[in-house]
Copies of this chain bind each other. A is one copy, B any other.
């Protein structure tokens, strides 16, 4: 069923009564996003948490020279949003769009806040998600400070083997923090060097 992936993820961390689960499901909205369509643009308020069930989205910022820097790719099973904007409900700095035709499930900030009051177990669920995500970003930051471009690329391949196949090279470059030209040169001059 449509919510299976999300419910599986929820049940991995918390147990719910049938009516709690039903209430949760009643708050969810299904939505399709076509390739290259925006889910969010810089300056907008991120009013929904979005869970990807098919396709792939990405969040990124555009710097003052017009270059894109990818914060996150979200294949099925991942949440995506502009955290800062979502938490404070103020205009954000990130763009989010679909790199493939995608299907997502959305939960509004208002509904989420009410969900916390009605089913406090969700506090735990999102605490655990946030903590794991936090540890991941800390690790990525350390990697960016200490590894070479080649090492960051190998890392990415190892961490997201499914993404490497479906993403254009320039997106990978914008994630690991090099120009597309340099990534191309690197891959063709020292192929598969590990």
**Chain A interfacial positions (CB closer than 8 Å to B):** 61, 63, 67, 69, 71, 83-84, 87, 93, 116, 120, 123-124, 126-127, 130-135, 137-142, 144-147, 177
Contact = CB atoms under 8 A, between A and B. Distances in A.
Contact of A126 (B61, B120, B127): B127
- Number of identical protomers: 2
12 contacts: A61-B142, A71-B138, A87-B132, A87-B135, A93-B142, A123-B127, A124-B127, A126-B127, A127-B130, A134-B137, A137-B141, A144-B177
A87 B131 contact: yes
Nearest to A123: B123
Contacts of A83: 131, 134-135, 138
A131 to B, nearest CB: 5
Contacts of A69: 142, 145-146
A80 to B, nearest CB: 12
Contacts of A138: 71, 83-84, 137
Contact of A63 (B71, B130, B141, B146): B146
Contacts of A135: 83-84, 87
Given A69-B145, A137-B138, 15 more contacts: A69-B142, A71-B141, A71-B142, A83-B131, A83-B135, A83-B138, A84-B135, A84-B138, A87-B132, A120-B123, A120-B124, A137-B141, A144-B145, A144-B177, A145-B177
A65 to B, nearest CB: 9
